[in-house]
Structure 1
Amino acid sequence: MGAGRAERRTRATSTLAAALAASVLVVSGCGSTSTGIPVPVVAPRPTPPSDADATAAATSTATPVTDGRVADDGPAPTGAARSGPDDTVPGGSTPLELDGGPPTDGSTGGRVLVPATTSPPPTTDATTVPATGPDPDDPTGDARDDDAPVADPSRRAGPPAQDPPGSATGASAPGTFATTEATFARLAAANVAASLTIVDDGAISLSTASGPTIGGAPATGDSPMIVASVSKVVVAVAIARLAAEGRLDVDAPIPWAEIGLSPDPGWADVTVREILDHRGGLKKDRDSWFDEPGTCRDHIPSLLRIPPDQHRGRWYYSNANYCLLGLVVEARAGADLGTALQRLVFDPIGRDGVHLTTDGLRPDDTPYRLAPERLSRLGGAGTVVVSTDDLAVMFATTDADDAAVLTPPSLFVDQYGTGHTGTVDGSRACLWRFAATGTVVAAAIAGDSVRSGGALCDLIVHAVAIDLGIDAGVPDRLR
């Protein structure tokens, strides 16, 4: 590593270490299971199936949600300022919600993943949650489901001039993610369960987890977890696969009759791509997505009785978009959403175990402290239960056809790359791909130790960037 790069990496590591030491919430430790052995990932295009088939953690003045209040994620009110790393959370503020199985062999035509082995779980002493300031995606101090950027992420400016991602010269030795592992250890100690997977240079370079499964076994990187709005990326990949197979035109109108909906005539020409990009005119309907009876299909008609909102054509984040896209996937795949996601997204990479909260949690899943039924209305917007191993491999093996669909603003953007975050009470998730290196990181926690999925990404993405030698500061998804 060059002297200048090494010096900058040392300074960045020291800065993050100091931030981690500044935490305020003390919790008991828990064991973890970790894999550091590179595991090759191969990514041929699947054979089309037949139609018959964290800068922030919770502070002492920001307490976890306990009352079930919810709000859809999206832009802050006009004029809301970005919270800087030295700002403080308003006293007494309460976060709100917003809106591997056996691998296949080459004969299947699927993307192939060789399974990893795991080491015995070490124990971790009681420690503290990292606290580095308020969530930059949450300028009001209220955690919001999905932590969507304040501005349209497709309009983000380029990376900072200093230490831009792209010059990976002098990066840390392959397979070493010491800063990331230290950051994860603190998250692991602060939550019921946690999981982290990194795919780098075409291999799973790190797969680590902590806590138990519902069945009592130690969690691993392949243990399914509730990932909140990171579900949207899985649904978007399914849409991309349907488009690549010629079963869906993303630039054509939503097939309303086929999905069994009769909206106001104003919705007739709204396209699949507009809905993917949160530009179709759907309202947030902030208070209706959680803790209410019924499913996505039951709820979405109430949002379509009036024409698209005046913001059609502009990015306006709403869970309703991916609730609707889940219904499109079901119709065109000819299967329920869970089965369709498995066939379209995870069968091609030789992974299994994905399911929905609407089907209940399974013994191999990590715990969720609330009733999973409270998420039922989200559908494709937030009901996916999947492991970080599966998410990371999925994102790392997307191809050019997928990339034509997986574009901002359906994905969030920062100075490192693109991805998505997820926040619901009791769960946080982060999925990110680094543009400079192709590295993918997926992380999830069963708990509320950090205020939002954006805060989780702030911690994990920054730590991985330091370990890759491309540190450009705390992720900024607001530019």
Structure 2
Amino acid sequence: MVTVMFRSSSRSWDVGRLGATLAVVAMLTAACGQARAAAPPDPEFTSGERAEPTVVETPLPSEGDIVLPDDVESGDTGTDDAGDEFDVADMVVLDDAGNASPNLSGWSAFDAAMQRRLGINQASSVAVMIDGEVVHAGAYGVRVAGGDAVETTDRFRIASISKTITAIVTMQLVEDGLLTLDDPVGQVLIDHLKLASPDADVAPTTVRELLSHTAGFPQHEGTFFSNGATSCTDAAIKGLSSGVNSGSGYRYSNMSYCVLGILIEAVTGQAYERVVEDRLLEPLGIEGMRFTSTYELGPDEVSHYPTPNRNFMEVLGAAGSWNATPTDLVRIMNSIDHATPGWKAISEETARSMRFRIDTGQQPGGYGLGLINYENDTFGHTGTIQNTHAMLLRQPDGITWAVTVAGGTPSESGNLRSIVRSALAEAFG
């Protein structure tokens, strides 16, 4: 496990001494990365092997397999965390001269609390950012059963947090004039996919409706999780050809974001992954994030132990196929947080518009445009697929955190919020 600590730039600490500390941290991190590269573990599955898709009559997926955020309709996780109090200033310590150093005992207590709450029989990882700088990263468990310990540079399936990534890039295209939020785009999709018999409600579909899950798609659980399609393109053709119910209001559906990924390809002439790489990941200095198949496992990726005969990762596409580290995720969130330093993917006005929900008078609440709003001016996204739980959250106290889990605990991804907050309270309360 590698734990990386930085300081927050908004505090008046000695920059020179901190720079020396960061140089040491960088050398240690680089040394660890070289060790991993020299002897990568054997993957559990053959890299590049794809699940054999079959269209058979299988039971609908269990609740744990469906990629649904917790209580996105109301934006309330049902967790009262008002009693979880902690002091952000306690996350570092200052000596008499005002020089900053990591609060090692505090973060050690945080790691212990996280591991105790998440359990030792599964893999998990966490990153915490304050005012735009990563102050802590931790990893727990093993990458593959009986294998090496998880490191903070290992990537997990992030499931529906992929939607926030897709939304950010979509909003970049809106700013650049390649898309608009409210002009119909259905015909673009019809032409791009060469649909012979599209549903009548497809043509007037707008980008805002796709981003906010109000385009009228059903949830399509069987399409995405029971071998009902061979790819996102196949799923989109099925979804756009029947069952669209425009004007039906909010209904969370992976189809909306699968279709958005295809729309991005249609208007840019590039593969969706390439657009995300060029427009978001490369400017942030993020390397190694990629789409993965259901059974593919690279040397720096954590197994989520899928059962046989599944192909959901191949089908979700822009709705849920990315893998990432928690550190990657907090950096992505920081790219739309204009209260912090660092490169920003979109303007402040556009970033704020991602929190608006079209059916609540343009007020932040519930599901916005690729972001879930929670109480107390907190926002982010969750992700859930088989044996995978993830959460990315921006809090009003300047803390942004991300947690990724390969295992069954917690039973609901939204519960990661109370787990992190209680661990912070235990360590820094």
**Post-superposition CA distance 1:60-86 (Å, at most 9, x none):** xxxxxxxxxxxxxxxxxxxxxxxxxxx
1:475 maps to none
1:130 maps to none
**Structure 1: which amino acid aligns with 2:112?**
A
User: Structure 2 stretches of 5 or more lacking a match?
Assistant: 11-24, 33-61, 93-105, 337-343, 357-366
Q: Is residue 2:184 matched to residue 1:253?
A: yes
TM-score, normalization: structure 2? 0.69
Q: Is residue 2:389 matched to residue 1:428?
A: yes
Alignment of 1:289-368 (within 5 A): 289-292=224-227, 293-306=229-242, 308-309=244-245, 312=248, 314-358=249-293, 360-368=296-304
Compared with structure 1, are the counterparts of its residues 235 and 396 closer, same or farther at alpha carbon in structure 2 (3 Å cutoff)?
Answer: same
3-state SS, counterpart of residue 299 of structure 2: coil
1:19 maps to none
1:444 maps to 404
3-state SS, counterpart of residue 442 of structure 1: strand
3-state SS, counterpart of residue 358 of structure 1: coil
1:90 maps to none
**Structure 1: which amino acid aligns with 2:242?**
I
Q: Which of 207, 213, 225 is equivalent to 1:278? A: 213
Q: CA deviation at 1:187?
A: 5.1
Find the aligned partners of 1:381 and 1:432 in 2 and give their Cα distance: 18
1:60 maps to none
2:340 maps to none
1:389 maps to 327
Find the aligned partners of 2:425 and 2:27 in 1 and give their Cα distance: 24
Q: Which of 116, 125, 129 is equivalent to 1:186? A: 116
Kindly indicate whether the alpha-carbon contact (under 8 Å) linking 1:354 and 1:385 is maintained by their aligned counterparts in 2.
Answer: yes
2:351 maps to 402
3-state SS, counterpart of residue 173 of structure 1: helix
3-state SS, counterpart of residue 441 of structure 1: strand
2:90 maps to 173
Find the aligned partners of 1:193 and 1:151 in 2 and give their Cα distance: 26
Kindly indicate whether the alpha-carbon contact (under 8 Å) linking 2:139 and 2:150 is maintained by their aligned counterparts in 1.
Answer: yes
Find the aligned partners of 1:467 and 1:172 in 2 and give their Cα distance: 12
Compared with structure 1, are the counterparts of its residues 379 and 201 closer, same or farther at alpha carbon in structure 2 (3 Å cutoff)?
Answer: same
**Structure 2: which amino acid aligns with 1:365?**
E
Compared with structure 1, are the counterparts of its residues 147 and 163 closer, same or farther at alpha carbon in structure 2 (3 Å cutoff)?
Answer: same
Find the aligned partners of 2:272 and 2:82 in 1 and give their Cα distance: 44
Find the aligned partners of 1:442 and 1:375 in 2 and give their Cα distance: 21
Q: CA deviation at 1:390?
A: 0.5
Alignment of 1:11-410 (within 5 A): 33-38=1-6, 117-118=28-29, 142-143=63-64, 145-150=66-71, 152-153=73-74, 171-175=88-92, 176-177=106-107, 180-186=110-116, 189-213=119-143, 218-254=149-185, 255-257=188-190, 259-260=192-193, 262=195, 263-292=198-227, 293-306=229-242, 308-309=244-245, 312=248, 314-358=249-293, 360-370=296-306, 373-398=311-336, 399=344, 400=348, 401-405=350-354, 407=356, 408-409=367-368, 410=370
Find the aligned partners of 2:200 and 2:312 in 1 and give their Cα distance: 31
Q: CA deviation at 1:197?
A: 0.5
Compared with structure 1, are the counterparts of its residues 214 and 353 closer, same or farther at alpha carbon in structure 2 (3 Å cutoff)?
Answer: farther
Kindly indicate whether the alpha-carbon contact (under 8 Å) linking 1:195 and 1:209 is maintained by their aligned counterparts in 2.
Answer: yes
Kindly indicate whether the alpha-carbon contact (under 8 Å) linking 1:153 and 1:411 is maintained by their aligned counterparts in 2.
Answer: no
Q: CA deviation at 1:464?
A: 4.1
3-state SS, counterpart of residue 138 of structure 2: strand
Kindly indicate whether the alpha-carbon contact (under 8 Å) linking 2:160 and 2:384 is maintained by their aligned counterparts in 1.
Answer: yes
Find the aligned partners of 2:233 and 2:153 in 1 and give their Cα distance: 30
Kindly indicate whether the alpha-carbon contact (under 8 Å) linking 1:172 and 1:467 is maintained by their aligned counterparts in 2.
Answer: no
Q: CA deviation at 1:291?
A: 4.3
Find the aligned partners of 2:203 and 2:246 in 1 and give their Cα distance: 15
Q: CA deviation at 1:274?
A: 0.9
Find the aligned partners of 2:269 and 2:161 in 1 and give their Cα distance: 23
Find the aligned partners of 1:375 and 1:180 in 2 and give their Cα distance: 32
1:460 maps to 420
Q: CA deviation at 1:153?
A: 3.9
Q: CA deviation at 1:376?
A: 1.4
Kindly indicate whether the alpha-carbon contact (under 8 Å) linking 2:162 and 2:320 is maintained by their aligned counterparts in 1.
Answer: yes
Find the aligned partners of 1:423 and 1:380 in 2 and give their Cα distance: 14
Kindly indicate whether the alpha-carbon contact (under 8 Å) linking 1:267 and 1:307 is maintained by their aligned counterparts in 2.
Answer: no
Compared with structure 1, are the counterparts of its residues 161 and 426 closer, same or farther at alpha carbon in structure 2 (3 Å cutoff)?
Answer: closer
Root-mean-square deviation over aligned CA pairs: 3.5
Compared with structure 1, are the counterparts of its residues 438 and 162 closer, same or farther at alpha carbon in structure 2 (3 Å cutoff)?
Answer: closer
3-state SS, counterpart of residue 459 of structure 1: helix
Compared with structure 1, are the counterparts of its residues 327 and 200 closer, same or farther at alpha carbon in structure 2 (3 Å cutoff)?
Answer: same
Q: CA deviation at 1:414?
A: 1.9
Compared with structure 1, are the counterparts of its residues 391 and 454 closer, same or farther at alpha carbon in structure 2 (3 Å cutoff)?
Answer: same
**Post-superposition CA distance 1:270-292 (Å, at most 9, x none):** 11011100111111122221241
3-state SS, counterpart of residue 256 of structure 1: helix
Higher helix share: 2
Kindly indicate whether the alpha-carbon contact (under 8 Å) linking 1:197 and 1:443 is maintained by their aligned counterparts in 2.
Answer: yes
**Post-superposition CA distance 1:312-350 (Å, at most 9, x none):** 3x2211111111111122233433232222222211111
Find the aligned partners of 2:232 and 2:263 in 1 and give their Cα distance: 12
Find the aligned partners of 1:336 and 1:253 in 2 and give their Cα distance: 22
